[in-house]
Structure 1
Amino acid sequence: MPLLRTVPGAGTLRRVRFRWLDVVVAVAIVVLFYLVIQATAGATAPLRLAEVPSSIDTDPALLPYYALRSLLRMFAALAASLLFTFVVATAAARLPRAEKVILPALDILQSVPILGFLSVTVTGFIALFPGSTLGLESAAIFAIFTSQVWNMTFSFYASLTSQPRDLDEAARLMRLTKWQRFWRLDVPSGMIPLVWNGMMSFGGAWFFLAASEAITVNNHSYALPGVGAYVASAVQAGQLDRVGWAILTMTIMVLGVNFLFWRPLVAWAERFRQEDTAPTDRPRSVVLDVISRSWLPRTVERGFRPIARGLDRATRPFGLAEHPLRVPVVRKRALDVAVTVLVVAAILVGAVAAYVFIQRSVGLGAFVEAFGLGAITMARVVVILLFATVVWVPIGVWIGMNPRISRLAQPIVQLLASFPANFLFPFAIAFFVASGIPLNLGGILLMALGSQWYILFNVIAGASAIPTDLRQAMDSFGVGRLQRWRRLILPAIFPAYVTGGITAAGGAWNASIVAEVVTYNHHTYTATGLGAYIADATTTGDMAKVLVGVIVMSVFVVGLNRLFWRRLYAVAERRFSL
């Protein structure tokens, strides 16, 4: 029943009708702002570096506050990842010269493990914010950012490069500016895979929460209030009951974020589906229904319209979508030469500096050991990719092509994918010890728990984006199941699978850092591999070995991408884009 009714008469202004839904939305916004302010106050509090503890209090009563701090870091990293994705992926897809630099750089950056970033960036962030907790907070957010951003960037890049030609021609005929084209064509056409990959990236970041909140660099340990640091402290002390409370808290967090944030986004993204026939059963969300029926979002949207119109006018001088930037041939060649010279010079300077540093510290012989360990870790990565492909591709297609199943399975899949497997490592280690399974073999399972979900989520996104009219055409022609898989499903999901495969491989290499070295109850269990090599070097502060390990891991990841995944990307763009 409305709380306030007004019946507008002739010549009178319509007044807003407040309903209970508006009150619910308004209260939710106030509560959200209050929680953000509380978490932000703790993140910006003044603090001397010497006062930062190496572990935090494991009292279960503090878990709600720890959960709030962890969520703030996760969403701050997600916002930064989205901004990075829009800028970098668009530049790679629209600027041929930039693509030649950006894609190799992304290959290398996604292969660098989180501990590699932390060992370099922690000191810089601390120096950037002296006397404040914000330095360590920024380092933790940056670490989470590096675990989220690559999957989203590759997904959006794949969407832009496989964009339907008729939509591209429509943007040119309507004389959209580049700014208008981005928001009215590029973002909507890539929204469904971006939302699913953002959900996967957010879930995968939980895996590295402990590594980002409990930082050990150069023999110095820093612990920030958060669920990840809580688990690290409880595991170190062998407090399985406290780990159980953290698992319960994490389960509530994952389900709550899925219900309040990701499920509404998935349902909202359905409006951008590109097809002629509407699906019979679209994903729905109670939260989205409440928000869409309230007048508050529409009021906020109307307030931003003048800003949007101003940006449209301001960006028109930068050119229309149908007129790309034209550079004279002579100037273009000169620009290409200048960019090439600068890039080659930067690479040579960095290579010489790294060579001198490694030669003086550990010698070039360290690469022989690192490449041998990298081959062992790569064998584990290949096993994980084969297993994930065989198991999760059929399941992902089944979920993605059945909206009703998707609504039921999404919270379960999100929980499994988002739940940090390293929270379960103590129980897994206890099982391995009791059953006699060595960590060299058990590490494959631990790495898979943190990487296989990328393939599942990308396949779900690809299957859910298959146009309904194509599915109905297959039904009308009576196409059999085998032919349906060969002619429709596998070609349609192939670009999404390639994106999932390349990010799953990178995720598996990153997961090796925490899966090949596990500490429980004051005992450390180590598997043979490159991940354990980098983790040990980071803990002891041996920066030369860290650099050797990161270089070798980058060589393996970039080599695999160039020899295998990039060729599949080209096939997907050339043959299997809708």
Structure 2
Amino acid sequence: MKSTAAQLAVTPPGRRFGWVDALVLLALIGLLWSALHVGRGMLVHFDAATMPALDPSPAAIPAYAARTLLRMWIAFGFSLLFAVAVGYLAAKNRVARALILPALDVLQSVPVLGFLSATVTGFMALFPGSLLGVECASIFAIFTSQVWNMAFGFHHALVAIPGEMQEAATVSGLNRWQRLRIVELPSAAHSLIWNGMMSFGGGWFFVAQSEAISVMNRDIKLPGLGSYMALALERGDTRAALYAVAAMLVLILVSDQLVWRPLLAWAERFKNELTDSGSAPSSWVYELLRGAYVFTWLDRHLRRPLADVLLRLHRPVAAAAPPPAWMRQAARAVGVVLLLWLAVEAVSWIAAAVAALHGALDRATLLQLAGLGGLTALRVTAMVLFASLVWTPVGVWIGLKPAVARFAQPLAQIGASFPVNMTFPWAVGFFVAHQVSLDWGSIALLAMGTQWYILFNVVAGASAIPNDLKEAARMSGLRGWALWRTLILPAVFPAWVTGACTAAGGAWNASIVAELASWGDTTLRAQGLGAFIADVTRRGDTPLIVASIAVMSLFVVATNKLVWRPLYAYAERRFKLE
């Protein structure tokens, strides 16, 4: 088994600070200063009536790109914490799982515009007169475009941990924290990193909608690359759009070199296998950091003393007598009261929503929404089937060959991160020139934004196949379809289910962008629920916004209940690696 030690640096004894450490410290200080400098712009005074217009010149792109990147990483940090906490609860507690998974089904089906409609006013009221309120709404919208895929992926990675590893942790007497740190987080590292890359790309996909906010008859454009893209689309400015695309590609490639590639090289130590891989992922940044003494110094003089202090504080608490029965009963009573209060609040909120909708909707409108939802559902199904046939073999090829992953990984990130609305200049022109209806063309636009969930999850599943199993398959003479049927498909099927489920949920969300394409004065519209939601959100029609989002949620929840949940259970039962 490979070591699951969490340290980064492996410096020899007697090593002291050198030029690498100075470089690392300068980089960390520069990163912190840049974040604080860029973040100052989030705290300025805000007035929607007097908000300055965006600067359309290319000279403004670096500052806008830095502002967007800061929002993206803040949202990703919250997404990571949420995914680990919620995924862990869903994997460890059956009652929590019965509540969390359906809730995630509903939440991932709520469009980004739906979250913006519900949160912009609240965040602005929370920070009156400050731009921080709108910034929080934008970050929250990016968070909602990132987090669901990570939560589903981490949950599935936990339930797929081999049983003998869990038994070994139990025999070793590991507590919950030790089990999470030594067994569960290392086992889920590959899935979490690959899904993190995909989720970060999902944030880029919706960054224009998150920064150029047009809801409830309000038009707010935050300084950022996404709003710059939206401005270029409104003006039909091809040169500005290309500048924005170039800036986004630079940020994606820099993030790949400085963040994702080092993380993949680091996570290689956590693979569950008995023999080393022939060609492991590599990263020059990771090798540079491994040679830095500063991490060893921080571990020796900061982490270990702090851990010792916490251990000394924990021992008296652990040795103390358990609380009396009346205190435990009081705690249970408080918990029951809290749950009842939450239930009453939820019921009152639902009653208020029903009262608001009563009289504003008729049977014909509801039937129209159901029909539009059915059309969008057909497009989502076609996209999932097409993407599975195309990207499953490609993902297996990338995952089994680290040498291929070195150049395919950044290309896949570019494809996953590319906002579909930036293709509108070419897509709209192509559809008009060849008389292609957006009813069909929107399927291609959906695939451009959400097929990557399947690719990234399949790559994660294939790269996590233990090398000893691959060697056993080679020694057994398995080739072609026999190899796929015996090893590859069973190994990647659980990851494919996660990717296909999140791709379907993301496609429902992306339908708002894909079913209504505009470039300058030319607008193409498809018949579907996504285009309907985009229209009513722009008008600020609250009853129709609530009703259309509710219909979309019902479609997604029904699909997950009837299709994806049974497939999850089948994957856990039949294809668990143990």
Deviation at 1:337, TM superposition (A): 9.4
Distance 1:127 1:574, change over 3 A: same
Of the structure 1 ranges 39-48 and 67-76, higher mean CA displacement relative to structure 2 is found in: 39-48
One-letter amino acid matched to 1:80: F
> In the alignment, is the contact (CA less than 8 A) between 2:202 and 2:417 conserved in 1?
yes
The equivalent residue for 2:6 is none
1:19 aligns with 2:34: no
Deviations 1:381-435, CA, capped at 9 Å, x for gaps: 0110010010000000000001111112111111111222221222211121122
The secondary structure found in structure 2 opposite 1:281 is coil
> In the alignment, is the contact (CA less than 8 A) between 1:193 and 1:461 conserved in 2?
yes
1:443 aligns with 2:442: yes
State the alpha-carbon separation in 2 of the partners of residues 349 and 338 from structure 1: 16
One-letter amino acid matched to 2:277: P
Distance 1:281 1:534, change over 3 A: same
The equivalent residue for 1:6 is none
The equivalent residue for 2:182 is 184
The secondary structure found in structure 2 opposite 1:46 is coil
The equivalent residue for 2:555 is 556
> In the alignment, is the contact (CA less than 8 A) between 1:254 and 1:419 conserved in 2?
no
Deviations 1:55-113, CA, capped at 9 Å, x for gaps: 52211001011110010010000000011011111111111111111111111001100
> In the alignment, is the contact (CA less than 8 A) between 2:428 and 2:518 conserved in 1?
no
Deviation at 1:343, TM superposition (A): 7.4
The secondary structure found in structure 2 opposite 1:519 is strand
State the alpha-carbon separation in 2 of the partners of residues 501 and 301 from structure 1: 41
The secondary structure found in structure 2 opposite 1:232 is helix
State the alpha-carbon separation in 1 of the partners of residues 530 and 73 from structure 2: 27
Deviations 1:315-352, CA, capped at 9 Å, x for gaps: 779999xxxxxxxxx99x99999899777656544433
Distance 1:300 1:361, change over 3 A: farther
Deviations 1:458-515, CA, capped at 9 Å, x for gaps: 0000000000000000111111221110111000001100100110001100110111
State the alpha-carbon separation in 2 of the partners of residues 434 and 497 from structure 1: 37
State the alpha-carbon separation in 2 of the partners of residues 30 and 397 from structure 1: 40
> In the alignment, is the contact (CA less than 8 A) between 2:17 and 2:294 conserved in 1?
no
Unaligned runs of 5+ in 1: 1-13, 321-329
For residues 111-260 of structure 1, what are the structure 2 equivalents within 5 Å? 111-260=109-258
> In the alignment, is the contact (CA less than 8 A) between 1:178 and 1:319 conserved in 2?
no
Of the structure 1 ranges 472-481 and 117-126, higher mean CA displacement relative to structure 2 is found in: 472-481
Unaligned runs of 5+ in 2: 1-12, 320-328
Distance 1:503 1:16, change over 3 A: same
Deviation at 1:577, TM superposition (A): 1.0
Distance 1:511 1:366, change over 3 A: same
One-letter amino acid matched to 2:477: G
Distance 1:445 1:281, change over 3 A: same
Deviation at 1:569, TM superposition (A): 0.2
Deviation at 1:362, TM superposition (A): 2.9
Deviation at 1:261, TM superposition (A): 0.8
Distance 1:343 1:131, change over 3 A: closer
Of the structure 1 ranges 408-417 and 345-354, higher mean CA displacement relative to structure 2 is found in: 345-354
> In the alignment, is the contact (CA less than 8 A) between 1:177 and 1:315 conserved in 2?
no
State the alpha-carbon separation in 2 of the partners of residues 347 and 378 from structure 1: 28
> In the alignment, is the contact (CA less than 8 A) between 2:396 and 2:459 conserved in 1?
yes
One-letter amino acid matched to 1:438: S
Aligned length: 556
Distance 1:511 1:417, change over 3 A: same
State the alpha-carbon separation in 1 of the partners of residues 339 and 115 from structure 2: 26
One-letter amino acid matched to 2:287: D
For residues 9-408 of structure 1, what are the structure 2 equivalents within 5 Å? 17-53=16-52, 56-302=54-300, 303-311=302-310, 348-408=347-407
The secondary structure found in structure 2 opposite 1:385 is helix
Distance 1:83 1:314, change over 3 A: farther
State the alpha-carbon separation in 1 of the partners of residues 436 and 236 from structure 2: 21
> In the alignment, is the contact (CA less than 8 A) between 2:214 and 2:220 conserved in 1?
yes
State the alpha-carbon separation in 2 of the partners of residues 532 and 98 from structure 1: 35
State the alpha-carbon separation in 1 of the partners of residues 106 and 159 from structure 2: 21
> In the alignment, is the contact (CA less than 8 A) between 2:398 and 2:459 conserved in 1?
yes
Of the structure 1 ranges 211-220 and 173-182, higher mean CA displacement relative to structure 2 is found in: 173-182
> In the alignment, is the contact (CA less than 8 A) between 2:21 and 2:294 conserved in 1?
yes
TM-score, normalised to structure 2, is 0.91
The equivalent residue for 1:11 is none
The equivalent residue for 1:509 is 508
One-letter amino acid matched to 2:258: L
One-letter amino acid matched to 1:145: F
For residues 534-549 of structure 1, what are the structure 2 equivalents within 5 Å? 534-549=533-548
One-letter amino acid matched to 1:134: L
The secondary structure found in structure 1 opposite 2:523 is strand
State the alpha-carbon separation in 2 of the partners of residues 381 and 318 from structure 1: 54
The secondary structure found in structure 2 opposite 1:400 is helix
Deviation at 1:518, TM superposition (A): 2.0
State the alpha-carbon separation in 1 of the partners of residues 573 and 539 from structure 2: 48
Distance 1:315 1:363, change over 3 A: farther
The secondary structure found in structure 2 opposite 1:524 is strand
State the alpha-carbon separation in 2 of the partners of residues 154 and 564 from structure 1: 15
Deviations 1:161-193, CA, capped at 9 Å, x for gaps: 111112212222222222222222221111110
One-letter amino acid matched to 1:520: W
> In the alignment, is the contact (CA less than 8 A) between 1:277 and 1:468 conserved in 2?
yes
1:462 aligns with 2:429: no
State the alpha-carbon separation in 2 of the partners of residues 569 and 99 from structure 1: 13
One-letter amino acid matched to 1:222: I
State the alpha-carbon separation in 1 of the partners of residues 543 and 104 from structure 2: 23
Distance 1:316 1:495, change over 3 A: farther
> In the alignment, is the contact (CA less than 8 A) between 1:282 and 1:403 conserved in 2?
yes
Deviation at 1:298, TM superposition (A): 2.4
State the alpha-carbon separation in 2 of the partners of residues 165 and 312 from structure 1: 30
One-letter amino acid matched to 1:195: I
Distance 1:512 1:315, change over 3 A: farther
Deviations 1:9-68, CA, capped at 9 Å, x for gaps: xxxxx9863433223222222221221122111112222233235x52211001011110
One-letter amino acid matched to 1:387: F
The equivalent residue for 2:477 is 478
State the alpha-carbon separation in 2 of the partners of residues 365 and 349 from structure 1: 27
> In the alignment, is the contact (CA less than 8 A) between 2:420 and 2:514 conserved in 1?
no
State the alpha-carbon separation in 1 of the partners of residues 316 and 112 from structure 2: 41
One-letter amino acid matched to 1:478: G
One-letter amino acid matched to 2:151: T
One-letter amino acid matched to 1:370: L
One-letter amino acid matched to 1:275: E
State the alpha-carbon separation in 2 of the partners of residues 233 and 409 from structure 1: 32
RMSD across aligned positions (CA): 2.4
